[in-house]
């Protein structure tokens, strides 16, 4: 079974879409094995978005993700990363397919509701960053 990291961003929490997002993953057949809600520290946000450190939008990414509570989750299932990415939709919500989370609920690239790991290797790194050993169901 493959695992993926999914995060409902502050805009998704503020708009009360967390339950809808969880429902979609459950309906798809993925298994929720880790969940917690908190306001991320600047350190964790900078580590999470480290690949963008040299880009001009890095600071605004960090500010946004630390601006309110997020819901951090780990989902498990067959090809979980690929399935989740399909469900989430394109980064730019205006290019996201109808029926995807971003296609149905978002319009701005800067506030696109949800993050999902882009590869199994990235998922492992992100899960280790956001969850401590023992916080996931076996």
Residues marked as catalytic: 115
According to DSSP, the β-strands at 31-38 and 114-116 are unpaired
**Count of C-beta atoms within a 10 Å radius of residue 134:** 5
Query: 118 exposed, middle or buried (CB, 10 Å; 0-12, 13-18, 19+)?
Result: middle
DSSP letter (8 states) at residue 21: H
Dist. CA 8–CA 55, nearest whole Å: 23
46 within 8 A of 63, measured Cβ to Cβ? no
């Amino acid at each position: 079974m493959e695992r993926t990291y999914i995060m409902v961003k502050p805009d998704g929490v503020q708009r009360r879409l967390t339950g809808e997002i969880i429902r979609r993953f459950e309906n798809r057949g993925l298994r929720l094995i880790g969940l917690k809600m908190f306001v991320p520290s600047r350190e964790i946000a900078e580590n999470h978005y480290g690949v963008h450190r040299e880009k001009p939008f890095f600071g605004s990414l960090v500010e946004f993700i630390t601006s309110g509570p997020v819901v951090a989750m780990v989902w498990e299932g067959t090809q979980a990363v690929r399935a989740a990415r399909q469900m989430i939709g394109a980064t730019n919500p205006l290019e996201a397919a109808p029926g995807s989370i971003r296609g149905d609920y978002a319009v701005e690239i800067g506030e696109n509701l949800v993050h999902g790991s882009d590869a199994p290797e990235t998922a492992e790194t992100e899960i280790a960053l956001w969850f401590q050993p023992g916080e996931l169901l076996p």
